[in-house]
């Protein structure tokens, strides 16, 4: 019951956050602009018209969805610690698991609710303009998975950070690191060090940003050449369906694994004197 109350409070606080609302609004406006004006007659990614808009929406999601998840999640526990209320919560007849579950559930609910509402508006316009509903639903599903993964990453960071500003800084650094070290960004390093191609392929699937990108391009176009050499190799070994499934599994693993690490960190990082 207490965890549920914490979750409700976290939903309310997240939905009132300035940066959260700003990122959500920009995501919706950007998506509607892409859908309304991004369709043309050119052949893009093997499809006509709507593929260019969906590819742009995918890139928009890679930028805004992690930010929408990180701002409230990095503040969730670090903000309580900075205000001195985390020690009070942990002194109550609550386990760290209940506190963490309440925080995680509340932030995830707020992020996913905003994405459902915003993407629902974008997707409805897209379907009315001829975009296949199945593609819109698949993009929505992966966008929700990306949001959940970065929520867990943010809470993992927040569980050990002393202040809200420190947690937000670390969370954004982690996001930029993952964004920069996509398959193309890290390929030169792997080649320079002479690491096996399997290691590079594994990193591409392990990186949540890259897993999202690979899955979406695989769905949008049957030509593996557009995925780059790493993605093409993954399609060759896993198949298109296998690559999409492995990408979804990677995002689910981040949601569960980072959440578990956050719980472990909260348990071991108790306040002095607690």
Q: What is the mean pLDDT of residues 238-250?
A: 92
Mean pLDDT of 25-43: 65
Does residue 90 carry a pLDDT above 90?
no
CA distance 65 to 115: 8
For residue 270, pLDDT over 70 is answered with: no
CB count within 10 Å of CB 106 equals 27
Rg of the chain in Å (alpha carbons): 20
Residue 6 has pLDDT above 90, yes or no: no
Separation of alpha carbons 98 and 124, rounded Å: 37
Cα distances from 261 to residues 100, 101, 112, 155, in angstroms, run: 11, 13, 21, 9
Model confidence at 113: pLDDT above 80: yes
pLDDT tens digits for 219-240?
876 666 666 777 778 888 888 8
pLDDT winner (highest mean) among 19-28, 43-52, 196-205, 260-269: 260-269
Give the pLDDT mean for 43-71.
71
pLDDT at residue 215 greater than cutoff 70: yes
Q: Is residue 251 predicted with pLDDT exceeding 90?
A: yes
pLDDT of residue 271: 44
Q: Which pLDDT value is given to residue 70?
A: 93
Global pTM? Answer: 0.85
User: Which residues contact residue 132 at a Cβ distance below 8 angstroms, ignoring those fewer than 6 apart?
Assistant: 50
Q: Indicate if the pLDDT at residue 205 is higher than 80.
A: yes
* 145 pLDDT more than 90: yes
* Relative orientation angle of helices 2-16 and 96-128, to the nearest 10 degrees: 50
What per-residue confidence (pLDDT) applies to 151? 94
Which pLDDT belongs to residue 156?
A: 95
> Average pLDDT, stretch 193-207?
77
In this model, does residue 46 exceed pLDDT 50?
A: no
Q: What is the dihedral of CA 102, 265, 17, 81, to 10 degrees?
A: 100
**Average pLDDT, integer, range 58-65:** 84
Mean pLDDT highest for which of 41-50, 55-64, 128-137, 140-149?
140-149
Which of 153, 182, 133 has its CA nearest to residue 251? 153
Has residue 45 got a pLDDT over 50?
no
3-state SS class at 47: strand
Average pLDDT of every residue of the chain = 80
pLDDT, residue 171, reads: 93
Return the percentage of the chain with pLDDT > 90, whole number: 25
Average the pLDDT over each of 48-57, 99-108, 225-234 and give the range with the smallest value. 48-57
Compute the average pLDDT of residues 100-125. Answer: 85
The DSSP result for 63-83, as a single string, is HHHHHHHHHHHHHHHHHHHHH
pLDDT for res 44:
41
CA angle 165, 163, 21 (to 5 degrees): 45
Phi and psi, residue 273, nearest 5°? 85, 0
Residue 43: the pLDDT is 42
């Amino acid at each position: 019951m207490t965890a549920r109350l914490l979750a409700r409070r976290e939903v309310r606080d997240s939905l009132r956050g300035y940066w959260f609302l700003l990122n959500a609004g920009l995501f919706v406006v950007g998506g509607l602009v892409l859908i309304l004006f991004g369709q043309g007659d050119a052949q893009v990614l093997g499809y006509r018209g709507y593929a260019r808009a969906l590819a742009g929406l995918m890139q928009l999601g890679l930028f805004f969805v992690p930010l929408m998840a990180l701002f409230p999640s990095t503040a969730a526990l670090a903000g309580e610690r900075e205000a001195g209320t985390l020690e009070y919560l942990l002194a109550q007849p609550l386990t760290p698991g209940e506190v963490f579950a309440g925080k995680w559930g509340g932030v995830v609910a707020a992020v996913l609710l905003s994405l459902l509402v915003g993407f629902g508006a974008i997707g409805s316009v897209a379907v009315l303009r001829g975009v296949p509903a199945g593609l819109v639903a698949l993009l929505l599903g992966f966008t929700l998975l990306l949001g959940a993964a970065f929520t867990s990453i943010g809470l993992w960071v927040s569980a050990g950070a002393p202040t809200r500003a420190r947690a937000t800084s670390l969370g954004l650094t982690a996001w930029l690191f993952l964004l920069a070290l996509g398959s193309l960004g890290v390929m030169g390093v792997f080649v320079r060090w002479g690491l096996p191609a399997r290691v590079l392929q594994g990193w591409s699937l392990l990186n949540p940003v890259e897993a999202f990108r690979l899955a979406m391009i695989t769905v949008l176009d049957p030509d593996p050449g557009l995925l780059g050499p790493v993605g093409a190799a993954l399609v060759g070994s896993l198949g298109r369906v296998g690559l999409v499934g492995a990408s979804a599994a990677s995002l689910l693993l981040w949601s569960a694994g980072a959440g578990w690490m956050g719980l472990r960190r909260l348990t071991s990082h108790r306040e002095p004197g607690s």
